[in-house]
């Protein structure tokens, strides 16, 4: 999935707010003021998507 597709998909969800955090060089996605996703780059410059979810669901998404 392309980065723009992820951005569009997350922003279409009800009550989701997003912003760009300059210090992190990353997009943050928040629900009720709590961050649930971050889209940016790791130290090597590879695109990453970090999701806040229960540990047992992490394996499913990896």
Name the band, by pLDDT with cuts 50, 70 and 90, for residue 59: confident
Total domain count for the chain?
A: 1
Please indicate, yes or no, if residue 17 is contained in any of the structural domains: yes
Residue 61 has pLDDT above 90, yes or no: no
29 CB-contact burial (10 Å; exposed 0-12 / middle 13-18 / buried 19+) = buried
Please indicate, yes or no, if residue 62 is contained in any of the structural domains: no
pLDDT given for residue 35 in this prediction: 95
pLDDT tens profile 1-49: 788 899 999 999 999 999 999 999 999 999 999 999 999 999 999 999 9
Please indicate, yes or no, if residue 12 is contained in any of the structural domains: yes
Please indicate, yes or no, if residue 16 is contained in any of the structural domains: yes
Please indicate, yes or no, if residue 11 is contained in any of the structural domains: yes
Q: Domain span at residue 49?
A: 3-53
Residue 57 has pLDDT above 90, yes or no: no
């Amino acid at each position: 999935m392309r980065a723009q597709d992820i951005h569009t998909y997350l922003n279409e969800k009800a009550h989701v707010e997003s912003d760009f955090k300059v210090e992190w060089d990353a997009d943050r996605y928040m629900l009720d003021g709590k961050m649930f996703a971050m889209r940016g780059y790791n130290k090597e410059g590879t695109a990453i998507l970090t999701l806040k979810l229960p540990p047992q669901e992490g394996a499913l998404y990896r």
